[in-house]
Structure 1
Amino acid sequence: MRHHILLPTDFSGNAWSAALYAINLYADEPCTFYFSHAWTFLNTGARTHVSESYLDPLKAKSKEKLAAIKDRAKIESKDRDHKFETFFCIGSLMDSIEIAIKKHNVSLIVMGTKGATGTQEFLFGSNTVTVINKMRQRPVMLVPENVNFVKPTHIAFPTDFNRFYGEELKSLKQLADLHKSQIEIVHINKKEQLNEKQHSNLEMLNTYFKDYEHNFNWITESGKKEQAITSFIEDNDINILTMINYEHSFVENLIKEPIIKKMGFHSIIPFLVIPRVD
């Protein structure tokens, strides 16, 4: 099966880091990677009308940059079954992503995230927050700036066992298949015992992952969830964090700006956000 992966780029270093991570993550898989750029012109000057003769060279410059990234990726991916295409779109980032999904049957979006800014730590930039909030069609992998690829031997999947799991888990299995990763299911205890519904969902997970190396990990809640997950990541050499973005879920709370500014949860490893399936 050939994977079709979208790599949005603003030509920044962290966008390239994300692309490089994706190329290495799928090193042994047949893939077509699409470098996409959403081009917009902000008329901040005194011009009320901007002629095509002025805009066309700007568009051409962006297309040249896309072509250069494509050539650079080909060099990085030598001798692999990888193809690279470019996709130039006039409009917003979300416009470009949605068009690419329809046009190229994209199965995964891989984006770069910015690191710490000054004395404050930010997990996501505004563009990333927009994509996570609005993207309900495909999973999105967020890759920290300057991250070095490490074979993902352990993938963390935090859950409260309160929801029935369906097609969402297919993305997690596909990710684990790439490098035969062990899935670390993490539950933060609020109560000493699970209720009947939680027990049922736990058993369903155990059955669903019966052909995969997996563990159930129990953490006693003693503070913020994001702090507990961060500690688990650091203490257990977790390489990728995955979560399902249900409505009113932890992911939804995580990307709200007031929490981001206060939290110690820093974007230290790639983070796969899986959209819920209604």
Structure 2
Amino acid sequence: MKKILIPTDFSENAWNAIRYAIELFKNEECVFHVLNTYTPAIASSRFMAASIDGATLENGARSRSEGGLKKVIDRIAQLYTNPRHRFKTSSSFSFLVDEIKVMVEELDIDLVVTGTKGASGLEEVFMGSNTVRIIKSIQNCPVLAVPQYFKFITPNEIAFATNFNRFYTKSELRPLREMAKSFNATIRIVHVQNEIKALTELQQFNLSMLRKYLEDVEYFVHTVSELNSISKTLEVFTEELDIHLLAMLNYQHSFLEKISREPVIKRVAFHTQVPLLVIQESGMQSGPQNKNEKLAEISS
């Protein structure tokens, strides 16, 4: 049984992510954990603080959280009656990312699904995004970010953006393969280059291993020239090939560092018009492995 965690702040953006997840896994046995976190409002002055009971503030916040979750479950029940699906709610006096990390670990969550507005390219807004913080902090579980207005389409065309500079493991590619198998989807491996040129020896090796791991699903390799920016190139690519899901691997040690240096994630991840599946690295370094590590992976 698949275990899906969906954080919600009771916005329509979060509701769209819930609907997408329900539709995406309609043919699978699932437990959906719907999470809302809350922190009581802090009194704005010492005069107010003296007259307000902290317990009263917390109780009020908890009541709003629990009431909001009940409305979400009632709304789901009105629209969906899938016997394969069960729903559990969690109201937690905690910070969102902290609670997600705890639940992913304790409940062995398979996937975190979150809504993302992605409406602004401003650095301040981008860096403040809950989605960014979730992906930065959740290291042992894939995250699916669903754009605010995206309506569910069966993902039978999946793009996987890569530059072939990294050696992928089977475990890292498992979410991508499982998604492709579940929907009998075609994987479009897309490599964006400033100028079209031959792959290096390392890139060729990593591509050959990628082909090996994907041999039981249909895939194609696309090398495309960059159009102004990588983000614009991928936007055009997803539109022209009618891509329904974009997948990337988050393999930098510091996601913040990756944001500042990697335009693919910075400009596409939370502004793309299709859902983004971010696959976390499985404890590997971002650089080339040593020979023994590669041989062990190849022979497994």
**Do both proteins adopt the same fold according to a TM-score greater than 0.5, normalized to the shorter chain?**
yes
Contact between 1:184 and 1:214, CA under 8 Å: does it hold in 2? Answer: yes
1:199 is displaced (CA, Å) by 0.9
Residue in structure 2 matched with residue 33 of structure 1 by the alignment: 32
Question: % of aligned pairs identical?
Answer: 34
What amino acid does structure 2 have at the position aligned with 1:173?
R
Find 2:199's aligned residue among 194, 200, 210: 194
Secondary structure of the equivalent of 2:221?
strand
Contact between 1:28 and 1:81, CA under 8 Å: does it hold in 2? Answer: yes
Deviations 1:100-128 (A, max 9, x none): 113322110000011435x9797785211
1:220 is displaced (CA, Å) by 1.9
- With 219-228 and 80-89 compared, the bigger mean Cα shift is at 219-228
Contact between 2:39 and 2:93, CA under 8 Å: does it hold in 1? Answer: yes
Contact between 1:132 and 1:140, CA under 8 Å: does it hold in 2? Answer: yes
Gaps of 5+ in 2: 284-300
Gaps of 5+ in 1: none
Secondary structure of the equivalent of 1:168?
helix
Please state if 1:275 is matched with 2:280. yes
Q: Which runs of 4+ in 1 moved over 6 A?
A: 119-124, 257-260
Residue in structure 2 matched with residue 225 of structure 1 by the alignment: 230
1:255 is displaced (CA, Å) by 4.4
How far apart, CA to CA, are the structure 2 residues paired with 1:224 and 1:174?
30
- Superposed CA RMSD in Å reads 2.7
How far apart, CA to CA, are the structure 1 residues paired with 2:77 and 2:185?
27
Going from structure 1 to structure 2, the CA distance change for 1:43 and 1:180 (only over 3 Å counts) comes to: same
Going from structure 1 to structure 2, the CA distance change for 1:142 and 1:220 (only over 3 Å counts) comes to: same
How far apart, CA to CA, are the structure 2 residues paired with 1:204 and 1:257?
26
Find 2:77's aligned residue among 57, 74, 77: 74
Residue in structure 1 matched with residue 247 of structure 2 by the alignment: 242
Deviations 1:196-217 (A, max 9, x none): 1111111111111111010000
1:176 is displaced (CA, Å) by 1.3
TM-score scaled by length of structure 1: 0.89
How far apart, CA to CA, are the structure 1 residues paired with 2:68 and 2:203?
50
Larger relative helix fraction = 2
How far apart, CA to CA, are the structure 1 residues paired with 2:141 and 2:275?
16
Going from structure 1 to structure 2, the CA distance change for 1:125 and 1:232 (only over 3 Å counts) comes to: farther
What amino acid does structure 2 have at the position aligned with 1:12?
S
Aligned length: 274
Deviations 1:32-61 (A, max 9, x none): 001001111231423336331343133112
